[in-house]
Structure 1
Amino acid sequence: MNNKRTHDQLLSALAIASWLLAYLLTGRLAWHWISPESFGAVVAYITAWLILGYVVQTVLFLSVSLIARGLGSSTK
């Protein structure tokens, strides 16, 4: 029981860290990609940041899900 709880806590921490990193790193990537200097560029930056963040977060979520599935089968 304690082993399962530890795995759940690690997966929760991994999910939170991946969510935070996804938005911080994609925000930085979008900033250097767009280099906003006008209002239109800022709108493009925010749009690019949201799209990149969504894509990266989806990939990370699927990765964490696969890790959880693998850990779940190994703890039985």
Structure 2
Amino acid sequence: VYVETGTGELVPASLQRAQPALLEIPASLDAYLKSIGDKSRNMIRKARKLGYEFRRLTPEMLGQDIYEIRTSDPMRQGRPIP
């Protein structure tokens, strides 16, 4: 099976038998906050008060931190870390 891209190129594709999960992205943060429940809004407020924040990152920006966490213990969930 092939899928045609916007440029007309045919690329191989595999058929999925399950229905994909889709996430509707609201037009704005306000629209999102209106769509979630009170409990979720309270948890967001609590996280902000505790100093948590959202930032777009790439793995390269945190490479050393990820490495140190992954190698801080040779086992995770009862299995050796690959």
TM-score (norm 1): 0.23
Identify the structure with the greater helix proportion.
1
| Structure with larger RCO (C-alpha < 8 A, sep 6+) | 1
TM-score (norm 2): 0.21
Greater Rg, structure 1 or structure 2?
A: 2
